[in-house]
Amino acid sequence: MTKAEIVAEIANKTNLEKVAIQQTIEAFMESVKSSLAKGESVYLRGFGSFTTKKRAEKTGRNISKNTTIIIPAHYIPAFKPAKTFVFDVKNKVQ
């Protein structure tokens, strides 16, 4: 499902304008990104948590030059679904 499909579905369910929904979704995503960039987590009860995870430094390979490189430690975004979210998906998708 794409962002445009989500906007269309919400518009059909709420009878609101697609432009307003698009702006709301964009603002939500920007809020999540900026919170994670600051090191803060975002918790949505019944849906899940957006957090950051630290990846340790590791050795990688540059295949084209056949050399090893050191990949420094860094943070990546992560999502952990809520228990009710997992339960709903488990029971509906089979």
Q: 79-94, pLDDT tens digit by residue?
A: 999 999 999 998 886 5
- Tell me the average pLDDT across 54-64: 94
Per-residue pLDDT, 91: 87
User: Which residues constitute the domain of residue 46?
Assistant: 3-92
| Residue 41: pLDDT over 60 | yes
Q: What is the mean pLDDT of the chain?
A: 94
User: Between 25 and 94, whose confidence is greater?
Assistant: 25
Q: 26-38, pLDDT tens digit by residue?
A: 999 999 999 999 9
Number of structural domains, the chain?
A: 1
Q: What is the CATH number of the domain that holds 75?
A: 4.10.520.10
Residues 78/50, Cβ–Cβ less than 8 Å: yes
